[in-house]
């Protein structure tokens, strides 16, 4: 990617972020817009990130002989009239990954809250519809499964850090 293409993508991301921030303000319940906004912010961060380290090696312009890679914290450039060209590899550090236990996935808290509301509503509808017959046959199995789902969602929400994604 050329520097001008990169600059164009940076500008595009900034415009999209500004647009999506306005949209999220207008429709705060839109999970998809929030996810799009977050993806654009990640894209912008990766496009504007500075390398954490560099690897350099000298290559003789005439013979093509290469020297071993050297590592450092600053980019090097050849001197005027040098018979070597410098190959450079840039290394970027990743941001720390969120701590997620094995077997778990990150999901937006709003999605869990909406799922919780729907599950608890369904559970209360069962009680209202079947009353004392809820302990019989198929309804008991479905009610027990729904109760288990509600309990699991409540536990997930209780374990969610205050800093929502």
pTM above 0.85, yes or no: no
d(CA 151, CA 97): 28
Q: Which domain holds residue 136?
A: 109-159
HEC sequence for the chain: CCHHHHHHHHHHHHHHHHHHHHHHHHCCCCHHHHHHHHHHHHHHHHHHCCCCEEEEEEEECCCCCECCCEEECCCCCCCCCCCEEEEEEEECCCCCCCCCCCCCCCCCHHHHHHHHHHHHHHHHHHHHHHHHHHHCHHHHHHHHHHHHHHHHHHHHHHHCCCCCC
Question: For residue 18, is it within any domain?
Answer: yes
- Residue-wise pLDDT tens digits, 46-85: 888 888 888 888 888 889 898 888 888 777 777 767 788 8
d(CA 27, CA 31): 9
Structure token pair of residue 129: 């519809």
Specify whether 7 is located in the same domain as 43. yes
Question: For residue 148, is it within any domain?
Answer: yes
Question: For residue 153, is it within any domain?
Answer: yes
Instruction: HSE, CB side, 13 Å, CA atoms: give it for residue 156.
Output: 22
Specify whether 15 is located in the same domain as 34. yes
Q: Number of folded domains in the chain?
A: 3
Q: Is pLDDT above 60 for 101?
A: no
Specify whether 117 is located in the same domain as 145. yes
The residue among 83, 51, 55, 52 whose CA lies nearest residue 69 is 55
Specify whether 55 is located in the same domain as 45. no
d(CA 21, CA 23): 5
Question: For residue 96, is it within any domain?
Answer: no
- Residue-wise pLDDT tens digits, 102-153: 666 667 777 778 887 887 788 788 777 777 666 666 667 777 777 888 888 8
Specify whether 120 is located in the same domain as 84. no
């Amino acid at each position: 990617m050329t520097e001008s293409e990169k600059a164009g993508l940076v500008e595009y991301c900034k415009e999209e972020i500004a647009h999506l921030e306005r949209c999220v303000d207008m429709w705060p319940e839109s999970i998809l817009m929030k996810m799009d906004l977050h993806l654009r912010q990640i894209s912008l961060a990766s496009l504007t990130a500075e390398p954490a380290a560099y690897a350099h090696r000298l290559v003789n312009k005439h013979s093509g002989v290469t020297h071993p890679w050297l590592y450092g914290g600053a980019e090097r450039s050849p001197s005027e009239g040098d018979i070597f060209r410098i190959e450079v590899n840039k290394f970027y550090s990743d941001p720390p990954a969120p701590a997620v236990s094995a077997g778990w996935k990150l999901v937006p808290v709003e999605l869990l809250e909406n799922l919780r509301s729907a599950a608890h509503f369904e559970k209360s509808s069962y009680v209202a519809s079947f009353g004392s017959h809820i302990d019989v046959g198929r309804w008991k199995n479905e009610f027990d499964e729904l109760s288990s789902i509600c309990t699991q969602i409540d536990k997930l929400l209780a374990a969610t850090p205050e800093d929502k994604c």
